[in-house]
């Protein structure tokens, strides 16, 4: 079973990397981009076969390691 975790900064948290990307896009001639938020995607190969158990395990992984829940939110997809 595979899981995909998407981690993004929470709304209101400054995103200097996203701002740098927005600025670079403008410098390259891509107009009309007023904001960029940058995050990360983590794909996990799991040995678990039960979907609910896998999701609970990935949630625990996110809370303990994969996301800084003070400033980041995450979304889990079981594939």
pLDDT band (50, 70, 90) for residue 55: very high
> In this predicted model, what pLDDT tens digit does every residue of 8-54 receive, in sequence order?
999 999 999 999 999 999 999 999 999 999 999 999 999 999 999 99
Residue-level length of the chain: 79
The CATH number given to whatever domain includes residue 21 is 3.30.1280.10
Taking Cα atoms as reference points, which of 38, 21, 39 lies closest to residue 75? 39
Cβ distance 3 to 40 under 8 Å? no
Tell me the whole-structure pTM to 2 decimals: 0.88
Q: Find the domain containing 74 and state its range.
A: 2-78
């Amino acid at each position: 079973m595979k899981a995909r975790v998407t981690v993004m900064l929470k709304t209101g948290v400054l995103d200097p990397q996203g701002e740098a990307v927005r600025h670079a896009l403008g410098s390259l001639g891509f107009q009309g981009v007023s904001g960029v938020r940058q995050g990360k995607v983590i794909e996990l190969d799991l040995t678990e076969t039960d979907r609910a158990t896998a999701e609970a395990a990935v949630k625990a992984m996110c809370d303990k390691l994969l996301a800084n829940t003070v400033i980041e939110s995450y979304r889990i997809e079981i594939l």
